[in-house]
C-alpha cells in the first residue's frame, strides 16, 4: 500500500540554523499520526513543509506517491488538497458558522455546497448553530467549526497545529476524544502537532517524539510508554524514575529490589552498570510485602495518590496508590514490583530529591 503521506529524509534550516535534520516517517491512509515534542524541536516546521508553507532543502514530501515538495519542487498549498486546522481557529468573524464552513467550497454548485455544509454541521454536532457567528460560540464550538471547515472540501490529508491549546484542560481532553471519533468515522488521514502527550495519546495511532529536529522514536503510544528506545523518550513520556542496576547475564539484571528478566539490557555484557526505568504503575503498594519504602512526597489526584518513595539504600521510585491508602510523610509502607516491561539504559548520575521534576 502506498502511504498517504511520505516524509522522507527532509532537511530544512532558517538561515544557517538547522531545524529539520533528516526527518522521515510515513502515514498510512486512515491513520492519525502525531508529532510530539517541546517548543523549538521542529514539529511545526514539519507541518509547514507538508502544507507547502515552507520549502525543503533536501528530501521529499509525497502525497499518495506524488512528490509535492523537494529541493526544486514545491506544489502551491492550494493545489495540495490538504486541510489545516490552526491553533487560533482562524474563523472569519463576519461570516456565520455555515458561511465559514462553506468558504472553501468554491468549486461546488450551490446545491452541493448547501448539502455539504449541512452534512458537516451534523458531523461536528452543531446542526442548530449554522446561523450563529463565531463570537457567539464557546471555544470548543469554535474549534468544531474550524474542523468542519477543513473537512468540508474532502482533503486527502488533514493537518492540526496545536488545535486544543487555547482550551481548558477538561475541554481539551473531551474535545480531543471527539475529534478522534470524527476523523475515524470520516476515514480522514491526519497529522497532529502538539506538546501535550495526553492529547497525543488520546488521538493518535502513531506518535513521533521529536528532539532537536530529529525523530527520537516513531511508534504506538503503548510502545512509547512501555518500550522507549532512547533515554530521552523514556524521560519525555509519562512519569518514571531510574534505579541503578547491574547486568548479571543475558537473562537477569540485579536491582536493590531483586533480580529481574531484562528487556533491552541483554545487549550489554555481564557486569555493565545500567539505569532501569520504573513507572509509577510498576511499583505496587502491598501491606503484606516485606520490602519497605518511606513516603517522601505525596500528590493527591482524587482516585489515587502519586507517592514518591525512598528505598532502603536511598533510591527513589514513584508509586500510584488508590486514595483510600492515605499514608503520612515519613511513614514506611510495603511495596512490590510488577515489571512487565523492564527497560534499561547506560548508567547516568543518580537521581536525588533535589533533581526530581517540579
154 contacts 123 by C-beta, under 8 angstroms? no
- Class for domain 5-231, per CATH? alpha beta
pLDDT at 129 over 80: yes
> CB-based contacts of 159: which residues, under 8 Å, 6+ apart?
47, 50, 51, 82, 83, 84, 85, 190, 191, 192, 193
What are the beta bridge partners of residue 293?
333
User: What is the mean pLDDT of the segment spanning 200-228?
Assistant: 96
Sorted by where each begins, the domain ranges of the chain are 5-231, 241-355
User: What is the mean pLDDT of the segment spanning 244-264?
Assistant: 81
Residue 149 backbone dihedrals phi, psi, to 5 degrees: -65, -40
User: Mean pLDDT over all residues of the chain?
Assistant: 91
- Helix (H) or strand (E) segment spanning residue 304: strand 304-310
Give the tens place of pLDDT for each residue, 136-173.
Answer: 999 999 999 999 999 999 999 999 999 888 888 888 88
pLDDT at 321 over 60: yes
pLDDT band at 59 (very low <50, low <70, confident <90, very high): very high
- The residue with cell 518513595 is 309
Per-residue DSSP letters for 192-248? Answer: EEES-HHHHHHH-SEEEEEETTEEEEEE-HHHHHHS-SSHHHHHHSS--EEEEEEEE
pLDDT band at 270 (very low <50, low <70, confident <90, very high): confident
Q: HSE-up of 138 (CA within 13 Å, CB side)?
A: 9
Q: Return the pLDDT at 20.
A: 97
> CB-based contacts of 262: which residues, under 8 Å, 6+ apart?
247, 250, 251, 252, 253, 342, 344
Helix (H, G, I), strand (E, B) or coil at 100: helix
pLDDT at 302 over 70: yes
Give the tens place of pLDDT for each residue, 161-213.
Answer: 998 888 888 888 888 999 999 999 999 999 999 999 999 999 999 999 999 99
What is the β-pairing status of strands 252-255 and 292-300? Answer: unpaired
34 contacts 162 by C-beta, under 8 angstroms? no
**CATH level 3 topology of 241-355:** OB fold (Dihydrolipoamide Acetyltransferase, E2P) (2.40.50)
Alpha-carbon span 179 to 32, nearest angstrom: 11
Lowest mean pLDDT among 18-22, 208-212, 247-251: 247-251
Is this model's pTM higher than 0.75 or not? yes
192 contacts 35 by C-beta, under 8 angstroms? yes
pLDDT at 265 over 60: no
Amino acid at each position: 500500500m502506498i502511504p498517504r503521506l511520505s516524509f522522507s529524509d527532509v532537511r530544512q534550516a532558517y538561515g544557517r540554523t538547522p531545524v529539520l535534520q533528516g526527518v522521515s516517517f510515513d502515514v498510512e491512509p486512515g491513520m492519525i499520526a502525531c508529532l510530539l515534542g517541546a517548543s523549538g524541536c521542529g514539529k511545526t516546521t514539519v507541518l509547514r513543509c507538508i502544507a507547502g508553507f515552507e520549502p525543503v532543502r533536501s528530501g521529499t514530501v509525497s502525497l499518495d506517491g506524488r512528490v509535492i515538495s523537494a529541493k526544486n519542487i514545491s506544489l502551491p498549498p492550494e493545489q495540495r488538497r490538504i486541510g489545516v486546522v490552526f491553533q487560533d481557529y482562524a474563523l472569519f468573524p463576519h461570516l456565520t458558522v455555515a458561511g465559514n464552513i462553506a468558504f472553501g467550497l468554491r468549486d461546488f454548485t450551490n446545491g452541493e455546497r448547501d448539502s455539504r455544509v449541512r452534512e458537516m454541521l451534523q458531523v461536528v454536532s452543531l446542526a442548530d448553530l449554522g446561523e450563529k457567528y463565531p463570537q457567539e460560540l464557546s471555544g470548543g464550538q469554535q474549534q468544531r467549526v474550524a474542523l468542519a471547515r477543513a473537512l468540508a472540501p474532502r482533503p486527502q490529508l488533514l493537518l492540526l497545529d496545536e488545535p486544543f491549546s487555547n482550551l481548558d484542560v477538561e475541554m481539551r481532553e473531551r474535545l480531543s476524544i471527539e475529534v478522534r471519533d470524527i476523523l475515524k468515522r470520516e476515514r480522514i488521514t491526519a497529522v497532529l502537532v502538539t506538546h501535550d502527550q495526553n492529547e497525543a495519546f488520546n488521538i493518535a495511532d502513531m506518535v513521533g517524539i521529536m528532539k532537536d529536529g530529529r525523530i527520537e522514536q516513531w511508534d504506538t503510544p503503548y510502545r512509547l510508554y512501555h518500550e522507549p528506545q532512547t533515554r530521552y523518550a523514556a524521560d519525555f513520556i509519562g512519569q518514571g524514575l531510574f534505579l541503578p542496576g547491574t547486568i548479571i547475564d543475558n537473562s537477569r539484571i540485579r536491582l536493590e529490589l531483586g533480580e529481574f528478566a531484562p528487556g533491552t539490557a541483554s545487549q550489554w555484557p555481564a557486569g555493565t552498570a545500567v539505569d532501569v526505568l520504573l513507572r509509577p504503575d510498576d511499583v505496587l503498594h502491598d501491606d503484606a510485602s516485606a520490602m519497605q519504602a518511606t513516603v517522601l512526597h505525596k500528590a493527591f489526584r482524587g482516585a489515587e495518590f502519586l507517592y514518591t518513595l525512598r528505598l532502603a539504600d536511598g533510591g527513589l521510585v514513584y508509586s500510584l496508590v488508590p486514595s483510600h491508602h492515605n499514608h503520612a510523610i515519613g511513614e514506611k509502607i510495603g511495596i512490590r514490583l510488577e515489571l512487565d516491561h523492564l527497560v534499561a539504559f547506560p548508567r547516568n548520575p543518580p537521581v536525588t530529591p533535589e533533581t526530581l521534576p517540579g
